[in-house]
C-alpha cells in the first residue's frame, strides 16, 4: 500500500465513478491525494508536505507508533465481540471513568460519534419516557436518520423540522441575539431554552433531552458564555429531561485545561449523558456513551439486549488505552494550552492588523477566526474565507471553514501541533491578508499573490494541477 497504485487523475476518476458523490472531497476542484502522514504533517503522492490544521480525529498525531503497536499486538491476540468477558473493555471504561465526574460511571462502546448520539437519544427517551429534544441552532450531531432530525444544520436542507424537535438560539456572543456587551449572556441564552420548554409544554409536549456540543463546532467554533450550561441543565431537569453533552469533537483534552470541554463550565455543572467519538481511537472507529447508573438502569429495565457487533472489542479498547497513555506521556494537554494559547495570541495580533478578521475565539487547540466584510455589520465574508483556505492550501497548509456562513477559519489540529506550526500558519495568513492591506479587501485584490518565498522550502515540486488552479 506504500506505493501509489493509480495516477492521481485515475484515482479521482475511479472515485467519481465508484463512490457516492455525496461523499465530498476537500478542495473539490483540486483535491489532495495523501499517501502518508506523521504527527501534524501530511504527504502527497509527490512527497510534498502539508501542515494539517484540522484533523482532530488523528488526535495524538497521524500514525502514532504507540497506537499502531497496541493495535497490531491486540489484533494478533483477539478481535472478538463483547459477549465474551475481556479485561480491555473494563480497563478502558475504568480509565475513562477517572476523567469524568463520579456520577458518569456507566459506559457503552460503539463505533462512531453518530452511533453514540443515537444511543444517547435512546437512553434519554427510555429514562425520561419523553420524546422531544431541544437542540441548538446550526447544530450537527451525526449522519443517521435520527440525528439529522436533531441537526438543524442538516434538516433545514432536507426534510425539515420534526414536531418533536425544538431549536434554541446558538449562544453566539459575536453574531447572536445577546452579544459580548450583554451583562450576563449565559443567563440570557439559558432563558431562551427555558422559554422554549414553556412553549413546548403549552403544546402538551414533553422534553426528553437537551443535546449540545460542549463547544459548538459546525456552528462556528463557539465558546459558551459562563453559566450557560448549568442554567440550561436546571431548566431541562425541571422539565424531566436530561442534558446530553456531545463531546465528539471537543473531548480528550483538546481544550487543554480540562479533559472535557463541558468542564470549562465549572465543577457545579455535570451532564447526564456524555457522547465521545472522533479523537478516541486516533482514526480507528471507536466511540462511547457515558451516563449515570439511573439512566443505564432504566435502559436495562426494558429487558431488551443492546448488542453492538464491533463496539468495545479488545482491539478498539487497546487503541483507546494507548491513546490515553500518549496524551499523558507527551503532555498533550499541556501542549494544547501552550500552543493553542500562542496561536490565539498570534491570531489576535492579526485581528488588530487586518480588518477582515472580525473575531478570534477558542480555547486550547480549538480555535476559530471569523472573517467578516466589516467589523461594524459583522457581515460574514464567506468568499474571502474560502479564498484564504485556497491560498493556504497553495502554501501547503490544510485548513477549512465552519459556521452558518462558512466564514470561520477553524483550527483543530492534531494535539502535537507545535509553536513553529502556529507561527507558520499565522505568518502565512498575515501575508495573504496583507496583500490587500489598508483597504477592506476584495476578492480581486486577493487573487494570485506571488508565492511566499519563506514558505516554499518544503515544496519539492508543484503538481501541475495546483499550478493550474
Measured from the CB atom, is 285 or 449 closer to a copy of itself? 285
Cβ-count burial of 160 within 10 angstroms (0-12 exposed, 13-18 middle, 19+ buried)? exposed
Reduced to 3 states, what is the DSSP secondary structure of residue 110?
Answer: strand
Of the residues 51, 53, 60, 71, which one makes contact with a copy of itself according to CB under 8 A: 71
Contact 360, 375 (CB under 8 A): no
What size, in residues, is the chain? 469
Binding mask 126-145 for a copy of itself (x = CB under 8 A): -----------------xxx
* b/e map 177-207, b = 16+ CB within 10 Å: ebeeeeeebbbbbbebbbebbeebeeeebbb
What's the min distance (Å) between Cβ of 56 and a copy of itself?
10
Measured from the CB atom, is 274 or 433 closer to a copy of itself? 274
What's the min distance (Å) between Cβ of 188 and a copy of itself?
32
Place of cell 456531545: 246
Going by the DSSP 8-state scheme, the letter that residue 278 receives in this structure is G
Residues numbered 255-314 forming contacts with a copy of itself, rule: CB under 8 A: 277-278, 282-286, 291, 296-297, 299-300, 302-310, 312-314
Measured from the CB atom, is 278 or 424 closer to a copy of itself? 278
Of the residues 40, 41, 42, 356, which one makes contact with a copy of itself according to CB under 8 A: 42
Query: Quick check: 73 binds a copy of itself (CB under 8 A)?
Result: yes
Q: What cell does 96 get?
A: 475513562
Contact 275, 107 (CB under 8 A): no
| Dist CA 158 CA 180 (whole Å) | 33
Going by the DSSP 8-state scheme, the letter that residue 404 receives in this structure is T
Residues numbered 15-34 forming contacts with a copy of itself, rule: CB under 8 A: 15, 17-26, 31-34
What's the min distance (Å) between Cβ of 4 and a copy of itself?
7
Going by the DSSP 8-state scheme, the letter that residue 168 receives in this structure is E
Query: Quick check: 80 binds a copy of itself (CB under 8 A)?
Result: yes
Query: Quick check: 98 binds a copy of itself (CB under 8 A)?
Result: no
| Dist CA 289 CA 110 (whole Å) | 8
Measured from the CB atom, is 126 or 226 closer to a copy of itself? 126
| Dist CA 297 CA 248 (whole Å) | 24
Residues numbered 178-237 forming contacts with a copy of itself, rule: CB under 8 A: none
Residues numbered 332-361 forming contacts with a copy of itself, rule: CB under 8 A: none
Contact 392, 369 (CB under 8 A): no
| Dist CA 287 CA 323 (whole Å) | 13
Of the residues 40, 51, 59, 74, which one makes contact with a copy of itself according to CB under 8 A: 74
Of the residues 47, 72, 437, 469, which one makes contact with a copy of itself according to CB under 8 A: 72
What's the min distance (Å) between Cβ of 280 and a copy of itself?
10
Rg (CA), the chain: 23
- What crossing angle do the helices spanning 185-202 and 228-238 adopt, rounded to 10°? 20
Measured from the CB atom, is 72 or 445 closer to a copy of itself? 72
What's the min distance (Å) between Cβ of 317 and a copy of itself?
9
What's the min distance (Å) between Cβ of 286 and a copy of itself?
8
Reduced to 3 states, what is the DSSP secondary structure of residue 421?
Answer: helix
| Dist CA 319 CA 322 (whole Å) | 5
Measured from the CB atom, is 50 or 178 closer to a copy of itself? 50
What's the min distance (Å) between Cβ of 466 and a copy of itself?
13
Cβ-count burial of 52 within 10 angstroms (0-12 exposed, 13-18 middle, 19+ buried)? buried
Measured from the CB atom, is 181 or 305 closer to a copy of itself? 305
Of the residues 60, 67, 350, 425, which one makes contact with a copy of itself according to CB under 8 A: 67
315, HSE (Cβ side, Cα atoms, 13 Å): 17
Of the residues 46, 49, 66, 97, which one makes contact with a copy of itself according to CB under 8 A: 97
Residues numbered 100-129 forming contacts with a copy of itself, rule: CB under 8 A: 105-109, 111-115, 118-119, 121-122
Residues numbered 316-335 forming contacts with a copy of itself, rule: CB under 8 A: 316, 318
Place of cell 475511479: 14
Amino acid at each position: 500500500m506504500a506505493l501509489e497504485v493509480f495516477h492521481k487523475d485515475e484515482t479521482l476518476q475511479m472515485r467519481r465513478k465508484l463512490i457516492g458523490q455525496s461523499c465530498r472531497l476537500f478542495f473539490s476542484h483540486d483535491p489532495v491525494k495523501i499517501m502518508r502522514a506523521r504527527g501534524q504533517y501530511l504527504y502527497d503522492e509527490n512527497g510534498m508536505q502539508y501542515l494539517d490544521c484540522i484533523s482532530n480525529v488523528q488526535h495524538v498525531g497521524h500514525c502514532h507508533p504507540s497506537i499502531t503497536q497496541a493495535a497490531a499486538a491486540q489484533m494478533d491476540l483477539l478481535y472478538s465481540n463483547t459477549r465474551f468477558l475481556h479485561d480491555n473493555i473494563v480497563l478502558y471504561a475504568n480509565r475513562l471513568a477517572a476523567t469524568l465526574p463520579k456520577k458518569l460511571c456507566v459506559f457503552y462502546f460503539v463505533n462512531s460519534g453518530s452511533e453514540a448520539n443515537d444511543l444517547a437519544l435512546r437512553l434519554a427517551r427510555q429514562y425520561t419516557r419523553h420524546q422531544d429534544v431541544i437542540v441548538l441552532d446550526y447544530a450537527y450531531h451525526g449522519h443517521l436518520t435520527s440525528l439529522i432530525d436533531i441537526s438543524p444544520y442538516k434538516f433545514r436542507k432536507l426534510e425539515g423540522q420534526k414536531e418533536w424537535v425544538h431549536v434554541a438560539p446558538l449562544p453566539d456572543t459575536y453574531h447572536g441575539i445577546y452579544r459580548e456587551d450583554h451583562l450576563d449572556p449565559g443567563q440570557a441564552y439559558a432563558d431562551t431554552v427555558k422559554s422554549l420548554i414553556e412553549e413546548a409544554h403549552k403544546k402538551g409536549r414533553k422534553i426528553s433531552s437537551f443535546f449540545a456540543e460542549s463547544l459548538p463546532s459546525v456552528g462556528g467554533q463557539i465558546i459558551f458564555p459562563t453559566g450557560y450550561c448549568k442554567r440550561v441543565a436546571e431548566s431541562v431537569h425541571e422539565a424531566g429531561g436530561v442534558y446530553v453533552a456531545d463531546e465528539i469533537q471537543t473531548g480528550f483534552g483538546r481544550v487543554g485545561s480540562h479533559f472535557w470541554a463541558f468542564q470549562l463550565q465549572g465543577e457545579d455543572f455535570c451532564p447526564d449523558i456524555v457522547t465521545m467519538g472522533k479523537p478516541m481511537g486516533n482514526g480507528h472507529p471507536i466511540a462511547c456513551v457515558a451516563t449515570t447508573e439511573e439512566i443505564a438502569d432504566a435502559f436495562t429495565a426494558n429487558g431488551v439486549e443492546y448488542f453492538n457487533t464491533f463496539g468495545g472489542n479488545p482491539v478498539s479498547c487497546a487503541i483507546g488505552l494507548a491513546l490515553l497513555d500518549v496524551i499523558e506521556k507527551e503532555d498533550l494537554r499541556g501542549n494544547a494550552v501552550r500552543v493553542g494559547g500562542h496561536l490565539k495570541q498570534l491570531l489576535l495580533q492579526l485581528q488588530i492588523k487586518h480588518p477582515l478578521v472580525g473575531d478570534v475565539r477558542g480555547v486550547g487547540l480549538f480555535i476559530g477566526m471569523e472573517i467578516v466584510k466589516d467589523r461594524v455589520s459583522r457581515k460574514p465574508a464567506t468568499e474571502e474565507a474560502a479564498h484564504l483556505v485556497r491560498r493556504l492550501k497553495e502554501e501547503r497548509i490544510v485548513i477549512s471553514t465552519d459556521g452558518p456562513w462558512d466564514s470561520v477559519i477553524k483550527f483543530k489540529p492534531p494535539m502535537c501541533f507545535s509553536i513553529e506550526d502556529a507561527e507558520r500558519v499565522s505568518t502565512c495568513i498575515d501575508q495573504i491578508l496583507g496583500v490587500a492591506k489598508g483597504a477592506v479587501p476584495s476578492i480581486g485584490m486577493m487573487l494570485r499573490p506571488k508565492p511566499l518565498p519563506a514558505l516554499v522550502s518544503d515544496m519539492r515540486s508543484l503538481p501541475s494541477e495546483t499550478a493550474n488552479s
